[in-house]
Structure 1
């Protein structure tokens, strides 16, 4: 059995540096092993663990950073993380040197909750004592089903291991000795909603997550009133102050003191396995995301990234998937939006791997990208079918769209294919039409218009010429000349169709046309003038 893998600043930077953290000042190799994570609260100074890594939430001004560095130095902290961009003045750097505290920056776009979760995973992985066979407590690391059977044998009771959302992560044998509620839970890998609602109303979960001892749960009556139901013993599974899940044992007889102690010890072992599973999953996901991102960006590292993804030297199609923006007033919270994107990206990766085992997919920023190997001349058509099939499976639960890039036949073409997929995806998200999949040639003009609109916004351009005069006239007189012009242009000069669209008589519409030509000085017979007006109306 080997010793624990020590977690210092160097390892944290090696694991998280490319994604979440950057070293701003200090020597990570000279810092002692990290003793824990703490969040700075300016209104209530927390008790820091020895050699703490402190998250400086809300610290932005150099004076605040200098003052906090001084406090942390006196309390033996190893590092301070502040939100980038950081104003690293000479005073800040001197304060870091005097305190002996390394200064790190949290990458823009990353959240403090993401960082805290990743740091916990890395530190927990360092706490695991693993031998050459990667075992924990004599069981294969991360094998939750073997662990469930071992705990069941120890307690002489069938058990389930569940996460915070009451999803079943693993279950032991002997479930046929339980009741209808447990059978439904195991078969559906989720506690039925009726049971979880009753347990919530009874306050079971509140008591469970507050206590570090087993909680006895009285039987929940069957829905149809038939069949026997049995009591449960449940205990929360914790890693420090974080609740990872719970263990639920079906009881045929009262829980003795010895079995209660055994359940407490089992919860500690389950926590180690859950943290190892989560840490491994997070690391694998992050590594894959870094490889996919590097391949999509092109440059010197793209070939190596594609080689590690087993996608070098073969044609691939790039697919870009994103969730439609929420309508005004219905914005999801940041945490909810991140969760939806990650779940969608995981489902996308699973779908692509079923289509082609060497497909690679990862969430990069706000979009999930897929790299799919193709052969023959119908690569884009096949990608479109794959995308449509995935969105059909997702249904209307998540309003998502997919942009498809052209087939890339070399390393340099992957970055160009990603750009094309991004441009097509943006059109789909902006126009909110029924179409959910598009290739760039299908929406090329719309993509150009969006990019031109970006340029206009950056330059701060405003309407000019006839359109500007019509806007001023409408604002001063309450008229609808701009609306009339837009309707006429959209109807390709068909007065009857344009009038019907505005619910006015054709003669009234003709009068307005003559009036807007006079007020705006616009020659409606000139194709160049019509085009210029239409472009301004579209952009401005």
Structure 2
């Protein structure tokens, strides 16, 4: 059984420094052991008045001058923040020390070379800010359940080497302290939360992963002789299994082979890591289901909507509904995996906009709730947030987002969802909006009405009548294309040259067909009512 030293509370500033102090963060001045959990992570905006959660950890992006930092420390003290992070190096001065002491806000430095995005992602993993469905404390092997960082530190103490815990895709789930004792490749791995592709390819080519996943014993990996200079410290790795399933692996940076006792301890640790990884997986599934149920209840706007919003932390706030879906065919398994991946990505993206945002996959649509100011352009803000998300994920997956209007209360939430759904449907079908990836209902209102008319026509079983019906029947008997000729002419607003080009025929040929369809269909093309009736039928009633 693994035993860890007494640690700080799970989301305390002391705990964050314990886990990240040697790799990402350094304490410049202030008291990291003040009681209280970190209430959230916020980014300092010098233009807008801060709206911070209590005990916030604030990222001071772009702050350099000591007097500017000192002023912000004083301001954050009035907002009961716990710490401010600025880019290292930071010269400790009497002014900064006094500001940290008087405000009660610790000042931390972010290691040069690390990005703010990396820090924000790692802090999110450490703090586990999601509080939906939070169960009471639970331990496995003396370690808080699912706390892989605490487990990594315990394993590092047992084998006297810095370790990482990784999943099957070589993504870093947790890491111990003392990483500065390893080599540059380990630091790069932690900063990127992923083993760099060139190192993973080298390990695969040498058969390390094959040997690792076939064996229960630790695998010793010598560094490459000269091809990858950053990889200079040997590794010992062991697979983490749950029955026949390989969940991931533990990697230790060592300077010599492990002794028999330490190798046995590493193998025992792998069994405990498997329990924690399964607990994390189960907990994530439970939380995801609960969040989905709460979001679904809130969006329905029924009797339980207010309580659901309260449990999501969105009660008494104005919110905008986003509806996201994937466009295009894909097999069921791939589609389900891709939808969940996009849902998780949207949830993380929205949380950066507002910590109380919520997102969940309901059916084949991902819904997001984004709190907005009551007196601002909430709809426009949500539109920009959605567009930014789709830009970030690129075009590998064709996804679209419908944006609903601002809902100021529970009663307006169901209508807001309906509007987002209507806009999303237009985007998914591409009905007159093929160039759009994000839209409000106001942007595609006519297209939405046309789709709803088609639904009504289909439900009633209506068929074309009048001139369109006569043209369709003539085309069927004589294998002509008079219906398509009429459609092309109407779409081109009567421009014969443009319509002929769309049909790939000579304008004179097109004029002949136009005269012929007027005779066959009995339609007066100079009558605006006749043109509108034909256009409407061609849009909503399938001549076929």
TM-score in terms of structure 1 length: 0.69
Paired position in structure 2 for 1:342:
340
Paired position in structure 2 for 1:418:
417
Which residues of 2 match residues 221-240 of structure 1 at below 5 A?
A: 221-224=225-228, 226=229, 229-240=232-243
Paired position in structure 1 for 2:159:
155
Paired position in structure 2 for 1:319:
322
The alpha carbon displacement at 1:235 in A equals 1.4
Whole-angstrom distance in 1 between the partners of 2:334 and 2:298: 28
SS at match of 2:524: coil
SS at match of 1:299: coil
Q: Is the Cα contact below 8 Å between 2:239 and 2:250 reproduced in 1?
A: yes
Paired position in structure 2 for 1:447:
448
SS at match of 1:216: strand
Deviates further, 412-421 or 340-349: 340-349
Q: Is the Cα contact below 8 Å between 1:474 and 1:480 reproduced in 2?
A: yes
The alpha carbon displacement at 1:377 in A equals 5.3
Q: 1:230 to 1:383 in 2, by over 3 A?
A: closer
Whole-angstrom distance in 1 between the partners of 2:370 and 2:137: 35
SS at match of 1:434: coil
Q: Is the Cα contact below 8 Å between 2:220 and 2:257 reproduced in 1?
A: no
Paired position in structure 1 for 2:407:
408
Q: Is the Cα contact below 8 Å between 1:133 and 1:140 reproduced in 2?
A: yes
Q: Deviations over 1:466-506 (max 9, x none)?
A: 22332333344343322211111011222233233334333
The alpha carbon displacement at 1:290 in A equals 0.9
Paired position in structure 1 for 2:257:
254
Paired position in structure 2 for 1:530:
531
Q: Is the Cα contact below 8 Å between 1:222 and 1:229 reproduced in 2?
A: no
The alpha carbon displacement at 1:233 in A equals 2.2
Which residues of 2 match residues 442-521 of structure 1 at below 5 A?
A: 442-521=443-522
Paired position in structure 2 for 1:55:
none
SS at match of 1:305: helix
The alpha carbon displacement at 1:305 in A equals 0.8
Is it true that 1:289 corresponds to 2:292 in the alignment? yes
Paired position in structure 1 for 2:92:
none
Q: 1:355 to 1:177 in 2, by over 3 A?
A: closer
Paired position in structure 1 for 2:61:
none
Paired position in structure 2 for 1:138:
142
Is it true that 1:387 corresponds to 2:391 in the alignment? no
Q: 1:427 to 1:263 in 2, by over 3 A?
A: same
Whole-angstrom distance in 2 between the partners of 1:511 and 1:204: 74
Q: 1:335 to 1:313 in 2, by over 3 A?
A: same
Q: 1:351 to 1:270 in 2, by over 3 A?
A: same
| RMSD (Å), alpha carbons | 2.4
Gaps of at least 5 residues in structure 2 are 1-134
Whole-angstrom distance in 1 between the partners of 2:473 and 2:457: 20
Instruction: Specify which of 209, 221, 230 is matched with residue 217 of structure 1.
Output: 221
Q: Deviations over 1:115-169 (max 9, x none)?
A: xxxxxxxxxxxxxxxx985333233332222211211221122221100111011
The alpha carbon displacement at 1:461 in A equals 4.1
Q: 1:227 to 1:286 in 2, by over 3 A?
A: closer
Q: 1:490 to 1:261 in 2, by over 3 A?
A: same
SS at match of 1:403: strand
Whole-angstrom distance in 1 between the partners of 2:355 and 2:179: 35
Whole-angstrom distance in 1 between the partners of 2:211 and 2:389: 41
Q: Is the Cα contact below 8 Å between 2:423 and 2:439 reproduced in 1?
A: yes
Q: 1:259 to 1:449 in 2, by over 3 A?
A: same
Whole-angstrom distance in 2 between the partners of 1:228 and 1:168: 17
Deviates further, 270-279 or 179-188: 179-188
Q: 1:367 to 1:223 in 2, by over 3 A?
A: farther
Paired position in structure 2 for 1:306:
309
Whole-angstrom distance in 2 between the partners of 1:510 and 1:365: 50
Whole-angstrom distance in 1 between the partners of 2:464 and 2:285: 50
Whole-angstrom distance in 2 between the partners of 1:463 and 1:211: 69
**Length, aligned pairs only:** 404
Instruction: Specify which of 163, 166, 171 is matched with residue 167 of structure 1.
Output: 171
Deviates further, 136-145 or 413-422: 136-145
Q: Is the Cα contact below 8 Å between 2:164 and 2:174 reproduced in 1?
A: yes
The alpha carbon displacement at 1:222 in A equals 4.9
Whole-angstrom distance in 2 between the partners of 1:264 and 1:425: 51
Gaps of at least 5 residues in structure 1 are 1-130
Deviates further, 158-167 or 468-477: 468-477
Q: 1:452 to 1:280 in 2, by over 3 A?
A: same
Whole-angstrom distance in 2 between the partners of 1:412 and 1:221: 67
The alpha carbon displacement at 1:534 in A equals 1.6
TM-score in terms of structure 2 length: 0.69
Q: 1:358 to 1:494 in 2, by over 3 A?
A: same
Q: Is the Cα contact below 8 Å between 1:175 and 1:182 reproduced in 2?
A: yes
The alpha carbon displacement at 1:514 in A equals 0.7
Paired position in structure 1 for 2:209:
205
Q: Deviations over 1:222-280 (max 9, x none)?
A: 545x4663443221112233322111123322233222211111011111222222222
Q: 1:476 to 1:289 in 2, by over 3 A?
A: same
